[in-house]
């Protein structure tokens, strides 16, 4: 299943309370419950004025439908195929 990062411009999001963030999450979950099971919200990262959300979805259109239905911005949607991290270096084959 393809994975996507959605960039959402939300000025001042870092100032929201835990309760407000919980309400946003509940609203998103409610919209997801109305959509086909193929779309999944994995997690989100809150920065000063943006929210970066990771989703699994069959296509970008399903992500846009979620955003429109929930009234969420979806300023940029980027598909990705691979995740790397520090452990990725462990798979390197030494060059002789």
pLDDT for residue 2 = 94
Please indicate, yes or no, if residue 44 is contained in any of the structural domains.
Answer: yes
In Å, what is the CA distance from 11 to each residue of 30, 36, 88, 93? 23, 30, 34, 45
Count of domains in the chain? 1
Please indicate, yes or no, if residue 92 is contained in any of the structural domains.
Answer: no
Q: At 49, which CATH number?
A: 3.30.70.3090
**CA–CA gap between residue 32 and residue 94 (Å, rounded):** 45
Answer whether residue 92 shows pLDDT above 90: no
Full domain range(s) for residue 12: 3-83
What percent of the chain has pLDDT above 70? 95
Please indicate, yes or no, if residue 88 is contained in any of the structural domains.
Answer: no
pLDDT one-digit tens code per residue, 19-66: 999 999 999 999 999 998 999 999 999 999 999 999 999 999 999 999
pTM above 0.85, yes or no: yes
């Amino acid at each position: 299943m393809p994975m996507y990062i959605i960039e959402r411009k939300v000025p001042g999001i870092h100032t929201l309370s835990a309760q407000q963030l919980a309400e946003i999450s509940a609203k998103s979950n409610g919209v997801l419950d109305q959509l086909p099971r193929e779309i999944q919200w994995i997690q989100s990262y809150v920065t000063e004025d943006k929210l970066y959300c990771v989703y699994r979805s069959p296509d970008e259109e399903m992500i846009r439908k979620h955003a429109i239905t929930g009234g969420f911005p979806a300023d940029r949607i980027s598909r990705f195929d691979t995740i790397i991290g520090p452990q990725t270096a462990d798979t390197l084959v030494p060059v002789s």
